[in-house]
Amino acid sequence: MTPKKIALLAGGAVIIFVVILAGASSTYVVNPGHRGVEVTLGKVSQGFKPEGFGFKLPFITIIVPQLIRQQTEKMRANCYSSDLQQVEIDVRVLYRVPQSSVVTVFRDYTGAPFEALIKPRVAEAINEITALRTAEVIVQRREEVKSRALESARRKVGDVLVIEDVVLENINLTKSLENAIEAKMVQEQEAARARFAQQQAEIEANTAVIKARGEAESINLRGKALRENPSVLELQIVEHWDGITPLVVGPGATGANMMLPLGDFAPTTAKEMAP
């Protein structure tokens, strides 16, 4: 084989290799949950590439994937309360990069979005909220602290990123402050129990007074009725008769001698009735 043919074969092999390499570098794939940022010779395109397969200029254009799924990061906020107590709060932040901000975040901010944009603003928001409340209130109203911190952090971040939620996992105080708050809560619970017991005693006393008044009024009414109509007593005797022992009630009889057993006076045989 002549040197000319060898050179032609080598040149053809190089051309084929370049074509294959160009073909391979002219395509891209953006995975689900990502968006692609197109960079051509150092210049960032204004639009993003959606997920899926696509073509690009070989060698001079690259597609940089950017995650747009919701992400979770943890951080610790060191702050002070209004009574100058040190408070450490363990925070979990849920956030995502909206696809409308994919190019802006890639072009204008360095580092991870959480470290560059979210973490310092969330810490600033929590410090502002806790500085207006005592340590005890921060512990007792953590949901209020959380909601106000979330609202403030969202204003500070703006539309560049979306903060889905801020979770205050742990609020850590100094040991002496924890003991003082616990002792105060115990005293408040004991005072609440004492107030409840006092209220119960007052209710029972009022109930007893009302019951006694009712009984006294009932006795007065019954006495008045007997004085005005003595026959009421005879009616009560009839109503309470059990039907077992016959009784003879004398007309107009009163007191203990008004009721006489029939068996003590009536003759039981004909012999006893004979003269």
Written as six digits, the tokens of 150 are 């979330």
Number of H helices, E strands in the chain: 9, 10
What is the pLDDT tens value at each position of the chain, 275 positions in all? 677 677 766 777 777 777 777 777 888 999 999 999 999 998 999 999 999 999 988 888 999 999 999 999 999 999 999 988 889 999 999 999 999 999 999 999 988 999 999 999 999 999 999 999 998 899 889 999 999 999 999 999 999 999 999 999 998 887 776 666 666 666 667 777 778 888 888 888 888 888 888 777 777 777 776 677 666 666 666 666 666 655 555 555 554 444 545 444 444 444 444 44
Q: How many CB atoms lie within 10 A of CB 173?
A: 19
Pairing of strands 86-96, 259-261: unpaired
Burial label, 45 (beta-carbon count in 10 A; 0-12, 13-18, 19+): middle
176-202: b or e for each residue (b if 16 or more CB lie within 10 Å)? Answer: ebeeebeeeeeeeeeeeeeeeeeeeee
Estimate to the nearest angstrom the gap between the alpha carbon of 209 and the chain centroid. 44
18-34: b or e for each residue (b if 16 or more CB lie within 10 Å)? Answer: eeeeeeeeeebebeeeb
